Structure 1
Amino acid sequence: MKKCRGSMTITMCLIFSILLSLLLSGIQLARTQAGRIQAMHAADTGIYSIFAQYDKDLLDSYDLFYLDAGYGGSQVNPSFIVRQMESFMKPTLETSLTRCQIQSCAITGYVLSTDENARSFMGQVSRAVKNQLGTQAISSLRDFLEQTDSTLKNQEEQKEQGLPDMEFDVTEAEEHPPAFTETNNPIAILKRLRELGILGLVLPSDRQVSQKEISLTDTLSHRTLQKGMGTLQSQNSDSGKLLMQAYVMDKLGNYITEKDGHALSYEAEYIIGGRASDEENLKATVHRLIAIREAANCVYLYTDPQKREEAAMTAAALCSLLLIPEGMAIAEALIIAGWAYAESLLDVRQLMLGGSVPAIKSTESWQLNLSQIGQIFTLLQSDTIRSHSGLNYQNYLHLLLYSSSEQTQAFRCMDMIEQNIRTLPKRSSFYMDSCIESLETETIFTGPQQKTWSAVRTYGYDM
């Protein structure tokens, strides 16, 4: 076999050296870029993994997306979040030859559920209600509440203006007054009626009042709240008290429809009353219902000629018997007010039984004749539902909620949610103001040739 000798010129050596340098530089550049991409991917993985730990109890029961940043404690734990984020990023960084490492990781901002007067919470409530009810149902509810609320306010104004003048012939009543005793004297009976315990008069005889209570000092609306940090803000929301009260009526219980396992049984009544116990909240709600019905019933009595004449005749008879004819106007006003109050008790009892009462009374829907005033205590013991026409108990709760501010509703609603979550196993230290909606982090990575990259990531459930 013939042997051949080979050689390489200087020119070829130089060209080969240049090509090799370019190849190595390209490999190094690709490795650097791969490291940068890997670092950015690790930052995404870390923050997404953090928010994948959303509070399942809040989502399942209340349609709320939050990260419980207390992790079993009462305070936000930023260091634990950082450690978790680093542990989530490390597997991604270990999957290649780039040898990227985490130099530092820090939280630069976060938004809590209670920040900016519960703006985050109200925004999530708004989205939850819209998804469930739809815009048409919300619009119908708004029209109903605005119209009914306007009617009730007009009735209250008319009540404050007092009795309109009407002429009646009361000569016969003055000349031949009936004999009044403790059992048929309307003013004495109505005075006694106002002195009795209200719940015992209006609640069904077979229904026990819940004895549940909470400590107000430990509720979100009564304690100093934790604050978010940084410049992050909650997303704008068009939430209003209409959406908030629709959420309250759907997610929380009330006297008619209680929710099992909750800290209080009458939660909507807590939103209205803000008291520590079910009994106190129910009593406060009943008093407000009676006030609404009393104004409406007074206005009806003012405008019904037959009932006005009956009240005037009774007043004239009383004043003639007591030899104080100049007190007839006062006596008539007292009888009208007491009559309206007694009718209101019957109205509220109907509501508590599950019946309905119209916002504006008519001759057909009026229950109590003045001649029956001595039987009022017997009538208040009846558990018969007389009507399903008009507004029911839940409708009137809507009206009461409509008169309160959105912020009050939001914070008291969070009180109830917080207390209810605490009743669950291993959740006794849950705090709503430890719940994060949005988070911003900055992570510094080192890569090949000691390259450093900064990855700022912002993520939240409102995005």
Structure 2
Amino acid sequence: MKGSITVFATMLLMLVSQFLFTVLEAGRNLELKNVAKMNSEAVAESVFAQYCRPLWDEYRILTYDAGSDSAGNVDIQNIKAYMKNVSADNFKTGTDGSISAGTSVLRLSMDELDPVKYALITDDNGDVYTRQVVSYMKNNLSYETARKLYSKYSSIKDTVDNSKYDDSSVDNAMDALNAQEKGDNNNTARPSAVRGTPGSSAKNKSSSQNNSKGTETENPLVKVQQVRKTGILSQVVNEANVSGNSIDINECVSHRKLNQGTGDFSYDEDWYSKILLQQYFLTYLSNYTDSGSSHAMNYEVEYIIGGKSNDKDNLKKVVTEILMIRAACNAAYLATDQSKQAEAAALATVIGAITLNPEVIKALKIGILAAWAYCESVLDVRALLAGDKVVMMKSDSTWTTKLLGMTTMLTGKAKAKSCSTGVSYKTYLGMLLFFKSERAMAYRAMDVQEATVRQTQGYESFRMDNSICEMSIDVTYKYHGLFLCFVNLLEGADNEFSIKNKARYSYCSE
């Protein structure tokens, strides 16, 4: 039996076939758009999966170290080349778009990667860094806990603001006493007091007033002046045990000219972000009572506060600030304790008895109270650095020093009474951080973190301002029609098509 087909049937079959092939190509085009989107996401994730491991291990900071090109700028071209290579591998195509393996109909070629928008962790005056830290800490510190901490630090700040300590009271008292002494020495109608060294004249006069009893009344003002001249650090710690680590501050993030990203990822600071940033520093950065031996600086939190190039100077600055806070609080307590006020007045009368000048005696009383608050504060700082807690506002039961003999405690190794409900050294660090701006803290934190990462083999040239946290790239894919070659109606038309989408990735959760 012979078969036959009419011309009409043949043309109808061709039209139906072309329609089917067109539908197939349309379906393929839709699927290619989905494949292109998935590939863009996968390639971006592949780039950011190469995060700086030492920075994460030590500080829980995620960044992609893009490195530098020959001009010292962020090496974006290397990122583009990597993304194209990964895409070629995903689609089993060569760099020229040819098929290297497989016969998949869902083949694309990554063609263009422009423009590239990216945020470096140092961008926007440290706001990108802050956003990175806040994003991480939100998963580790609840809003309710942050609110309680904010209230706590605000309360402490109010206490400090309402407490004043006049650091010049001791010197003013000694100046008044010495001036009166010179006036007495120029009066021939009155015998002069027992003479001694200039720094101990007041003490010698006190001794002459008490020799009949065989006792000597010490003048705490003299000792406090001597201690302040020798420096506070030697009074509260063994300087031989203080870390000698340092960094080249001129090459740090906070001092050098930085590369700039191309994105706009600014971050608005508020109380919540500040508390999260502060708690991050206290948790992951080292300090005097919790030093990290593997870090470039052992007192990193102190560096954020002090900004000096070495651990010793930063510790000295922090200790001095804590001492002033403690002195203000202790002076505020002494002003309310009538018995201690009376003790100070009695000692002022004894020391200034030879002058019989009420103004001098009044100045001596004020100076003695200031010296007493200072001595108590030195013992407070010793206790804090030893890991103890000290109450913010003292009471008679928590007060340590006695007026007579307190200079012996000052020059010894005595420390203040510890209290389980008191405030620790780390809390004082948190309070000092509370006074700092977020941007200043962010840059100084990056200083020490960069220095620590550079200690790791293979990361000697690591730069925070080459580290990308967020990126967005416009991607163009090209592909050729597969089924349209059977469609005669499109003969001579361009058989190359393109798909555009974005490759985005951010280490910061939205």
- TM-score normalised according to structure 1 size: 0.87
Which residue of 1 is the match for residue 62 of structure 2?
Answer: 65
Range with bigger deviation, 53-62 or 180-189: 180-189
What do the CA deviations read for 1:208-233 (whole angstroms, capped 9, x no partner)? 01111111111111112221114x42
- 1:201-350 to structure 2, matched below 5 A, reads 201-204=235-238, 208-230=241-263, 232-233=264-265, 239-322=272-355, 324-350=357-383
> Helix, strand or coil for the counterpart of 2:246?
coil
Distance in 1 separating the partners of 2:30 and 2:143: 49
**Pair 1:215–1:460, CA change in 2 (3 A):** same
Q: Which one of the candidate residues 197, 214, 222 is aligned to 2:231?
A: 197
Paired with 2:368 and 2:393, the residues of 1 have a C-alpha distance of 20
SS in 1 for 2:116: strand
The 8 Å contact of residues 39 and 93 in structure 1, kept in 2 or not, is answered as no
Inter-partner Cα distance in structure 1 for 2:406 and 2:210: 15
Whether the 8 Å CA contact 2:400–2:417 is kept in 1: the answer is: no
Partner of 1:461: 507
Question: Contact 2:376–2:416 (CA<8 Å) still a contact in 1?
Answer: no
1:11 maps to amino acid: F
Equivalent residue for 1:17, pick from 14, 18, 36: 14
1:204 Cα deviation from its structure 2 partner: 4.9
CA distance in 2, matches of 1:75, 1:182: 72
Q: Which residue of the other structure, out of 140, 148, 151, is the alignment partner of 1:143?
A: 151
SS where residue 114 of structure 2 aligns?
strand
Q: Which residue of 2 aligns with 1:413?
A: 445
**2-structure distance, mates of 1:5, 1:335:** 129
SS at match of 2:335: helix
**Partner of residue 436, structure 1:** 468
Q: Quote how far apart the aligned CAs of 1:269 are.
A: 0.9
**Does structure 1 residue 120 correspond to structure 2 residue 154?**
no
Q: Is the 8 A contact 1:107 1:439 kept in 2?
A: no
- Residue 500 of structure 2 aligns to a residue whose secondary structure is strand
User: CA 1:182 to 1:49, structure 2 compared with 1: closer, same or farther past 3 Å?
Assistant: farther
In the aligned structure 2, how far is the partner of 1:318 from the partner of 1:111?
Answer: 67
Q: 1:396 aligns with which of 418, 428, 448?
A: 428
Report matched runs for 1:21-170 at 5 Å: 21-70=18-67, 75-94=73-92, 96-97=104-105, 100-156=108-164
Moved more, 428-437 or 386-395: 386-395
1:270 positional shift? 0.8
Query: Could you say what the CA RMSD is over the residues aligned between the two structures, in angstroms?
Result: 3.0
How far off its partner does 1:412 sit? 1.4
* Residue 385 (structure 2) aligns with: 352
Deviation at 1:31, TM superposition (A): 4.8
- Kindly provide the CA deviation profile for residues 375-408 of structure 1, in whole angstroms up to 9, marking residues without a partner as x: 2444x324x6742331121121122111222222
Secondary structure (helix, strand or coil) at the match of 1:23 reads helix
Query: What is the one-letter code of the residue matched to 2:4?
Result: S
Counterpart AA for 2:10: C
SS at 1:451's partner residue? strand
**Alpha carbons of structure 1 residues 67 and 320: separation in structure 2 relative to 1, 3 Å:** same
Q: Distance in 2 between matches of 1:215 and 1:367?
A: 42
Q: Please list the CA deviations of residues 164-193 of structure 1 after superposition, one character each: whole Å capped at 9, or x if unmatched.
A: xxxxxxxxxx9x953699982222222212
TM-score by length of 2: 0.79
- The 8 Å contact of residues 50 and 64 in structure 2, kept in 1 or not, is answered as yes
> More deviation in 244-253 or 45-54?
45-54
| Paired AA for residue 470 in structure 2 | S
Single out whichever of 402-411 and 29-38 deviates more from structure 2.
29-38
Could you tell me which runs of 5 or more consecutive residues in structure 2 were left unpaired when the two chains were aligned.
93-101, 171-205, 481-494
Question: How many Å apart are 1:35 and its aligned residue?
Answer: 4.6
Q: Which moved more, 1:177-186 or 1:254-263?
A: 177-186
Cα gap change, 1:198 to 1:441, in 2 (>3 Å) = same
Q: What is the Cα deviation at residue 255 of structure 1?
A: 0.8
Aligned partners of 1:84, 1:319: CA distance in 2, in Å?
82
**How far off its partner does 1:322 sit?**
3.9
Counterpart-to-counterpart distance in 2, 1:293 and 1:6: 109
Whether the aligned pair in 1 keeps the contact of 2:61 and 2:133 (CA below 8 Å) is yes
AA partner of residue 44 (structure 1): E
Q: Deviations over 1:34-93 (max 9, x none)?
A: 554444443333222212222233333322222122279974210000000111111233
The Cα of 1:246 is off from its aligned counterpart by 0.7
How far apart are the structure 1 equivalents of 2:226 and 2:220? 10
Further displaced range: 213-222 or 408-417:
408-417
Asked whether the equivalents of residues 204 and 349 of structure 1 are also in contact (C-alpha less than 8 Å), the reply is: no
Further displaced range: 52-61 or 212-221:
52-61
Whether 2:418 is the aligned partner of 1:387: answer: yes
**C-alpha distance after superposition, 1:235-259 (max 9, x if no partner):** 7676532211111110011111111
Aligned identity (percent) is 31
Q: What CA distance in whole angstroms lies between the structure 2 residues aligned with 1:122 and 1:311?
A: 50
Report the equivalent of 1:168: none
The amino acid of 2:295's aligned partner reads H
The residue number in structure 2 matching 1:450 is 496
Aligned partners of 2:223 and 2:268: how far apart in 1? 56
Change (3 A) 1:447 1:255: same
* Preserved contact between residue 39 and residue 100 of structure 1 (Cα < 8 Å): yes
Give aligned pairs, total: 445
Provide the residue aligned with 1:170 in structure 2: none
Letter in 1 for 2:506: G
Indicate the residue corresponding to 2:219 in structure 1: 185
Could you give the per-residue CA deviations for residues 273-297 of structure 1, whole angstroms, max 9, x where no partner exists? Answer: 1101010001001111110111111
